[in-house]
Chain A
């Protein structure tokens, strides 16, 4: 191994385990100043554990058995205090919202500087520098909760960088970003590299950051292997579009706004979705996708116009009543896990509606969770939890299934299980709506793609028509699917 000398981050024979099994062992890698390294691996491969080791959260705060060393500028972070480490290496966590302390943007930037005991003038100068550097000047007096996800993340990065660490770890920074947000993140990474910061990005997929990342290290159970280039997703066979003739969801001139003072979030939506279709609903964050699907199960009712689900006007029914027909799987499964065992969790909905429990068992089997039936749900991994909530929705045998961002943070295995479940449901005549940013996933599962922008439907057509058309993808700010990227490479 090449010696990094005084400047640089060096991981030597690092291993970590919480109880019996090693999460990883014999990790060796280096990061130089001004370099961005991506550490990729499926969910559960130990990315977060590694991230926590790099700043010394493990073993300082979270108890785990650690072997090996992490040397940053001649200092072993594993044996020094976190308060000392943060001046050398800091982290933006996956749940970066918790890292924001100020009520306003400016205040948050000042927070760490105040903690470091700087005087008011110095704080002012540095805050100003960070606001300009990270393009947050216009938002300086905004309340933090008014910011979009991408801006909040940028603030979290700025607040970490303002303490002038030499290295920054980012844990799954792309998890909740739309394509535009990912492009902005790539710019931020490039800028930090220019400033000579070393970056370590933990991620499930690299898409969008290829040009900012210098090296990719793949993380698996045994150790590490360095790959020269980014692996693109496998080729997807084109599916033939089949538009049914039996509408189960109808939007008639629907307008919606959250309150009278606000602008309309949905404007004049006219839409018909037929039985047996799988529709991918796409578009940037804040374009109204979630608002639209919440109309289907009656969580929201139109301000103007009407929504007809299986012949029923949603205004006359509660969400609980509609849940008999419309299953909705939310993005964050932790939000609704209530019961003590996986089985109780799956039949929760069916019991609420007084349905038999026969579908629950099938659903668990299909989603590969039948062996975990008696386990407490809190022990499941994120991918398993997502599958558990899908199983919970299927246990109610709904006619329509809505999946909100099922691909976020999921590994290939979970994605494959979800895809095969979708095709089976389609063959049973069920209707599926998938809200997603993942163009590759949309291409592989859907018969129809609807793209939203500013509360209106900007495009509606077959997945090939929309997602494989470079002009359309660019115009609508969608994530280009792997096929399109490959094509662009060939052309170049």
Chain B
């Protein structure tokens, strides 16, 4: 569901937060497994499945370690007390929970555009200043990354060995890369302020987003919120 890019970014944020909350609240293996399976299915149907699968492969060792630790060493857990001995079920539960959290976060990052995120935060009535600065940062990350790469190339072309020697030496090697980067960033910041004025910028403007949510969005939001309420009532208050 989250993978479908037609969902409103606000829906995605709500769905993402609910799943993460559910992952922590639920104490049943089956609930976690069902959630993980549903999200996995949704992500595999999306156009970002290549990215998801590749990233998940890298996480396999982490999941194995989590399984082993929780199965055999849960006695030393700082958070909860369990009976001593080998507890494979706990291992499966904990690694599956970790898997669910990783998968959901990954899906969120993969399917939400930075622009959507900014717009969604904007429509959640966050202060425009903060949202604008976030958007600007995202927009300029790319410029800074490009600059960093270009400076690194220029300095190594001048015989600067960056990744050689002790840790201290290596850190020192990066000084000739960082100085021009800072200077450029400060210069760019000055130009940016100028450019903002040229486009008649003022911080007092209202947010421009405010599209109506579609029925599908409402259904998805409703579904996740009710699941969350049910889980809270069941696990935390034992009402149902």
Q: Which residues of A contact B191 (CB under 8 A)?
A: 93, 95, 98
Nearest-neighbor residue (CB-CB) of A112 within chain B: B199
Contact in complex: B139, A83 (CB < 8 Å): no
Q: Which residues of B contact A396 (CB under 8 A)?
A: 158-159
Least distance between B57 CB and chain A CB atoms (Å): 15
With beta carbons under 8 angstroms apart, the residue of A103, A116, A163, A327 that contacts B138 is A103
Contact in complex: B208, A299 (CB < 8 Å): no
Q: Which residues of B contact A110 (CB under 8 A)?
A: 208
Cα A144 to Cα B118 in complex, Å, equals 16
Q: A320-B159, A320-B160 are in contact. Are A111 and B180 (CB under 8 A)?
A: no
Task: State the interface size on chain A (CB cutoff 8 A).
Answer: 61
Q: Is A181 at the interface (CB under 8 A from chain B)? A: no
Q: For chain A, residues 78 to 111, give those with C-beta under 8 angstroms from any C-beta of chain B.
A: 82-83, 86-87, 90-91, 93, 95, 97-104, 107, 110-111
Q: A323-B156, A337-B180, A348-B176 are in contact. Are A115 and B200 (CB under 8 A)?
A: yes
Q: Which residues of A contact B136 (CB under 8 A)?
A: 101
Contact in complex: B180, A338 (CB < 8 Å): yes
Cα A48 to Cα B175 in complex, Å, equals 32
Contact in complex: A334, B160 (CB < 8 Å): no
Contact in complex: A61, B197 (CB < 8 Å): yes
Nearest-neighbor residue (CB-CB) of B181 within chain A: A335
Least distance between A350 CB and chain B CB atoms (Å): 8
Contact in complex: A328, B188 (CB < 8 Å): no
Contact in complex: B115, A335 (CB < 8 Å): no
Contact in complex: B188, A117 (CB < 8 Å): no
Q: A93-B195, A114-B205, A115-B205 are in contact. Are A294 and B153 (CB under 8 A)?
A: yes
Q: Is A410 at the interface (CB under 8 A from chain B)? A: no
Q: Which residues of A contact B201 (CB under 8 A)?
A: 111, 115
Q: Is A205 at the interface (CB under 8 A from chain B)? A: no
Q: Is B218 at the interface (CB under 8 A from chain A)? A: no
Q: Is B221 at the interface (CB under 8 A from chain A)? A: no
Q: For chain A, residues 337 to 378, give those with C-beta under 8 angstroms from any C-beta of chain B.
A: 337-338, 348-350, 352-353, 378
Q: A319-B156, A334-B184, A336-B158 are in contact. Are A102 and B195 (CB under 8 A)?
A: no
Contact in complex: A55, B114 (CB < 8 Å): no
Q: Which residues of A contact B143 (CB under 8 A)?
A: 97, 145
Cα A104 to Cα B114 in complex, Å, equals 10
Nearest-neighbor residue (CB-CB) of B145 within chain A: A145
Cα A67 to Cα B183 in complex, Å, equals 32
Cα A396 to Cα B157 in complex, Å, equals 11
Cα A396 to Cα B150 in complex, Å, equals 20
Q: Which residues of B contact A392 (CB under 8 A)?
A: 158
Nearest-neighbor residue (CB-CB) of A55 within chain B: B198
Contact in complex: B159, A349 (CB < 8 Å): yes
Contact in complex: A299, B153 (CB < 8 Å): yes
Q: A102-B139, A335-B184 are in contact. Are A82 and B197 (CB under 8 A)?
A: yes
Q: Is A123 at the interface (CB under 8 A from chain B)? A: yes
Q: For chain A, residues 290 to 347, give those with C-beta under 8 angstroms from any C-beta of chain B.
A: 294, 297, 299, 318-320, 323-324, 326-328, 330, 332, 334-338
Q: Is B47 at the interface (CB under 8 A from chain A)? A: no
Q: Is B155 at the interface (CB under 8 A from chain A)? A: yes
Q: Which residues of B contact A324 (CB under 8 A)?
A: 159
With beta carbons under 8 angstroms apart, the residue of B153, B180, B198 that contacts A82 is B198
Cα A327 to Cα B205 in complex, Å, equals 51
Contact in complex: A328, B157 (CB < 8 Å): yes
Q: Is B179 at the interface (CB under 8 A from chain A)? A: yes
Cα A390 to Cα B21 in complex, Å, equals 59
The secondary-structure label for the interface of chain B is helix
Cα A383 to Cα B198 in complex, Å, equals 28
Q: Is A159 at the interface (CB under 8 A from chain B)? A: yes
Could you count the A-B residue pairs with CB atoms below 8 Å apart for me: how many are there?
Answer: 135
Q: Which residues of B contact A82 (CB under 8 A)?
A: 197-198
Contact in complex: B200, A83 (CB < 8 Å): yes
Q: Which residues of B contact A393 (CB under 8 A)?
A: 158
Cα A144 to Cα B158 in complex, Å, equals 32
With beta carbons under 8 angstroms apart, the residue of B150, B158, B162, B179 that contacts A349 is B158
Contact with B along A182-225 (1 / 0, CB 8 A): 00000000000000000000000000000000000000000000
Contact in complex: B115, A61 (CB < 8 Å): no
Q: Which of B115, B150, B154 has the most CB of A within 10 A?
A: B154
Contact in complex: B156, A98 (CB < 8 Å): no
Contact in complex: B176, A338 (CB < 8 Å): yes
Q: A98-B192, A335-B184, A336-B154 are in contact. Are A318 and B161 (CB under 8 A)?
A: yes
Contact with A along B108-140 (1 / 0, CB 8 A): 000001110010000000000000000110110
Q: Is B81 at the interface (CB under 8 A from chain A)? A: no
Cα A319 to Cα B136 in complex, Å, equals 34
Q: Which residues of A contact B114 (CB under 8 A)?
A: 103
Cα A83 to Cα B205 in complex, Å, equals 15
Q: Which residues of B contact A482 (CB under 8 A)?
A: none
With beta carbons under 8 angstroms apart, the residue of B142, B150, B161, B162 that contacts A335 is B150
Least distance between A488 CB and chain B CB atoms (Å): 38
Q: A55-B198, A57-B194, A335-B184 are in contact. Are A348 and B158 (CB under 8 A)?
A: yes
Contact in complex: B199, A86 (CB < 8 Å): yes
Q: Is B166 at the interface (CB under 8 A from chain A)? A: no
Q: Which residues of A contact B162 (CB under 8 A)?
A: 320
Least distance between A391 CB and chain B CB atoms (Å): 12
Cα A393 to Cα B192 in complex, Å, equals 32
Q: Which 7 A-B pairs give the minimum distances between C-beta atoms?
A: A352-B159, A336-B154, A349-B158, A328-B157, A323-B159, A319-B156, A112-B199
The 6 sampled A-B contact pairs (Cβ below 8 Å) are A86-B197, A98-B188, A101-B195, A114-B205, A348-B176, A393-B158
Additional A-B contacts beyond A86-B199, A110-B208, A323-B158 (11; CB < 8 A): A61-B197, A101-B195, A103-B115, A103-B135, A103-B139, A111-B201, A117-B205, A297-B157, A299-B153, A323-B156, A349-B159
Residues of A with Cβ closer than 8 Å to B? 55, 57, 61, 82-83, 86-87, 90-91, 93, 95, 97-104, 107, 110-112, 114-117, 120, 123, 144-145, 159-160, 163, 294, 297, 299, 318-320, 323-324, 326-328, 330, 332, 334-338, 348-350, 352-353, 378, 392-393, 396
